[in-house]
Amino acid sequence: MPSLSVNVDHIATLREARKAKEPDPVAAAILAELGGAKGITVHLREDRRHIQERDLKILRSTIKTKLDLEMGMNEEILKIALTIKPDLATLVPERSGEITTEGGLDLSKDNSRLKEVMSLLREAKIPVSLFINPTPDSVKKAHKLGADFVELNTGIYAESNEPLKIATELERLAGAAALAKKLGLGVNAGHGLNYQNVEKICLIKEIDELSIGHSIISRACLVGMEQAVREMVRLIER
């Protein structure tokens, strides 16, 4: 059964909409833990449109579970990561102006910057996860690059409405998860998961952890953070 890491970025999105002090992603993270989250994820973006360095620093010293920092490969963000030392650094592609992460890393091209970033993170004893699309080739490349974890992109599965496409994508995810496990990688998965589509993903036994943000925060606006997390944990456990 996968554990749940709750992405609290969008609590900060709401705060930044008014450049105010609330709602505080740190408070949300504590409530998420009380609701059963086994980890907290944040993405410190170059444009700082939601999470700020202040959040990261306080989260590092307050949360009781694990801190997963999603990050691009910008020099300044890397420096912050090396100082904060999250429990996991998940490297993602970041395009300025994107609404959310648009897909997995393209590992087929020149990976010199990726290798450099991975090496500095690993030197600082920060385990590294690579956010990739669920293909055998990406998994093999992530392994070759020396990743500790992969995070499989569930975005295409989550966005599909056609049963055949959903089934095909689930098969791709299951195949990629099995291969990653066989190669000794930790297996995380996420993007677009919600209360309606999470259960089928939980049938993939190799997945260690799910990273879920938008759907939980959306529900939390209506029912409260702790309850929204508890409901998601219950679905995963079922």
Residues making up the binding site for 3-amino-2-oxopropyl phosphate: 7, 18, 192, 213-214
The DSSP line for 21-41 is S-S-HHHHHHHHHHTT-SEEE
193 scored as a contact of ligand PXP (CB under 6 A) = yes
70 catalytic per annotation:
yes
- Mark the segment that binds ligand PXP (CB under 6 A) among 118-126, 162-170, 212-220, 228-236: 212-220
152 scored as a contact of ligand PXP (CB under 6 A) = no
| Active-site entry in 94, 191, 206, 209 | 191
Which tokens go with 92?
A: 């993602």
- Mark the segment that binds ligand PXP (CB under 6 A) among 113-121, 138-146, 189-197, 221-229: 189-197
Burial, 127: exposed, middle or buried (Cβ in 10 Å; 0-12, 13-18, 19+)?
middle
How far apart are alpha carbons 11 and 68 in whole angstroms? Answer: 16
Compute the C-alpha angle 73/68/44, nearest 5°.
Answer: 45
* Total residues interacting with ligand PXP, rule: CB under 6 A: 19
DSSP state of 60: H
Q: Which is nearer to ligand PXP, 44 or 123 (CB)?
A: 44
| Active-site entry in 43, 151, 169, 206 | 43
Minimum distance, C-beta of residue 60 to ligand PXP, in the bound complex (Å): 19
Distances (CA, A) of 133 to 43, 128, 148, 150: 18, 16, 16, 10
Contact residue for ligand PXP among 6, 8, 192, 232 (CB under 6 A): 192
43 catalytic per annotation:
yes
Q: How many CB atoms lie within 10 A of CB 221?
A: 13
190 scored as a contact of ligand PXP (CB under 6 A) = yes
Residues 112-131 that bind ligand PXP (CB under 6 A): 131
Contact residue for ligand PXP among 105, 152, 174, 212 (CB under 6 A): 212
Q: What sign has the CA pseudo-torsion 190, 192, 195, 196? A: negative
Indicate which residues carry an active-site annotation.
43, 70, 191
